[in-house]
Amino acid sequence: MNVDVLPRGTFGGEFRVPGDKSITHRAVMFNAAAQGEAVVTHALTGEDCRSTAACMRALGADIRFEGETVFVRGAEKFRDADCDCGNSGTTIRLLAGLVAGRGVTVRLTGDASLCSRPMERVARPLRLLGADVRTTEGKAPVTVCPASLRGCAVDTGVASAQVKSAILLAALGAEGETLVREPLPTRDHTERMLAAMGADIRTDGRGIAVRGGARLVCRDVDVPADISSAAYFLALGALRGEVLCRNVGVNPTRTGILRVFEQMGVRFSLENEREVCGEPVADIRVHRSSLRAVRLGKEIVPSLIDEIPVIALLCAFAEGESVIAGAEELRVKESDRIRTTADMIAALGGDCTPTQDGFVIRGKKTLAGGDVRSCGDHRIAMSGAVGLAASERGGTIEGADCVNISFPGFFGMLGGARA
């Protein structure tokens, strides 16, 4: 599906974007592996999270959707299963850890994009615990077979919340204690939720320690709005008007984009700050702003990895030359996001040079617009749509239906778009 996006001289309004994708994945998956029943409200119902639900059903859980509410009854015991993870890297990587050591044989696969992404980064550390994880030339399909696990110290090697989470989930079924260390802090939704559900887990200066043997107990979760989804409307507000996004999760491991806003001169404020189900939440208001160039390094990347395409787009409108480095993790997303982000900005009329681990972006006051190829990547499609709305003449997003992975209804909420 192609979608035409019209230019917008002004843009504003109040938005309630879909529930956080990372938290929805974990709320459904962890409750499906726990004892009892739970209700997950304001869940994201996009394709990736439905893939997680389908996999957990295949393993024996009872899961039912009613709008944005998900009813979960945990599986007493997992069963052997073939699990189709669709396009979801979170699903396949976390499940590899969750099913390890549970006495079942589980085959994990997905679509062509997912089967092209690296899986040894998860399989290698799981094998250190004794897991029997078999990849297909380092990629999916992945088969996890019965094995006894024993806790140990594990360095993730990459700053990836998916890799860290897979190890923590496997550690729940391991004998003794597992200590997980990562090169840079990554989003901590797994640690927060496992602790709330009864896991013996703690974080200190050495890393995250998990002692095996604790049985998880189901816990209701009210999912905050996803800051990654809010980022598109906040960015367009900074370029064209005033935007208020309500009930957004502002977990400090996810708010790198707000630190970038400060550096770029974006005028924003956090309102009605509070805590919901152990996660910090706020309303975020952004005003039209004059943007300046930034230099971002690897220390901030884990806290904004999903927002880098739209941050790069903002840099294309900023005064001066911006540099984003330390973001090589982008190359193993739904697309090679270093290449596809640079192509997206070039298609809009911007000046973006890809590097091995990021970009050099030379800002312009305006971008002409044009036709943007999504390359099947939801974040490229939505970032491109923001660029077209802020451009001089608009243009077309080719392959726009991929936004359903994380943000069904995005173009309707954006307005000024037609299929």
Name the residue with higher pLDDT: 332 or 134: 134
At residue 49, the pLDDT reads 97
| Residues found in the chain | 419
Task: Please tell me the distance from the alpha carbon of residue 287 to that of residue 308, in angstroms, as a whole number.
Answer: 20
Task: Please tell me the distance from the alpha carbon of residue 404 to that of residue 56, in angstroms, as a whole number.
Answer: 21
At residue 310, the pLDDT reads 98
Average pLDDT of the residues in 179-184? 95
Task: Please tell me the distance from the alpha carbon of residue 253 to that of residue 405, in angstroms, as a whole number.
Answer: 23
- DSSP for residue 48: H
Confidence label for 55 from pLDDT (cuts 50, 70 and 90): very high
**In the predicted model, is pLDDT for residue 45 greater than 80?**
yes
Name the residue with higher pLDDT: 132 or 76: 132
Domains, the chain, ordered by start: 3-19+224-418 (3.65.10.10), 21-214 (3.65.10.10)
**DSSP per position, 77-125:** S---EEEE-TT-HHHHHHHHHHSTTSS--EEEE--TTGGGS--HHHHHH
- DSSP for residue 31: H
At residue 71, the pLDDT reads 98
Confidence label for 205 from pLDDT (cuts 50, 70 and 90): confident
Task: Please tell me the distance from the alpha carbon of residue 352 to that of residue 107, in angstroms, as a whole number.
Answer: 40
Confidence label for 53 from pLDDT (cuts 50, 70 and 90): very high
Confidence label for 278 from pLDDT (cuts 50, 70 and 90): confident
**In the predicted model, is pLDDT for residue 416 greater than 80?**
no
* % pLDDT > 70, the chain: 100
What rounded mean pLDDT belongs to the chain?
A: 96
At residue 418, the pLDDT reads 75
Average pLDDT of the residues in 98-120? 96
> From residue 5, how far is each of 10, 14, 82, 386, 419 by CA, in Å?
14, 20, 40, 9, 9
- H/E stretch holding 304: none
Enter the pTM of the model.
Answer: 0.90
At residue 370, the pLDDT reads 97
**In the predicted model, is pLDDT for residue 204 greater than 90?**
no
Structure tokens at 255: 């708010």
At residue 419, the pLDDT reads 67
Average pLDDT of the residues in 54-80? 97
> From residue 313, how far is each of 310, 316, 328, 346 by CA, in Å?
5, 5, 18, 10
Task: Please tell me the distance from the alpha carbon of residue 275 to that of residue 262, in angstroms, as a whole number.
Answer: 23
> From residue 99, how far is each of 149, 194, 275 by CA, in Å?
11, 16, 31
**In the predicted model, is pLDDT for residue 155 greater than 70?**
yes
Q: Which positions are catalytic?
A: 306
Q: Are 307 and 299 in contact (CB under 8 A)?
A: no
Task: Please tell me the distance from the alpha carbon of residue 72 to that of residue 55, in angstroms, as a whole number.
Answer: 13
- DSSP for residue 334: S
Residues in Cβ contact with 137 at an 8 Å cutoff, skipping those fewer than 6 apart:
none
**314, 318, 320, 321: CA torsion to nearest 10:** 10
Do you find a cis peptide bond into 141, omega within 30 degrees of 0? Answer: yes
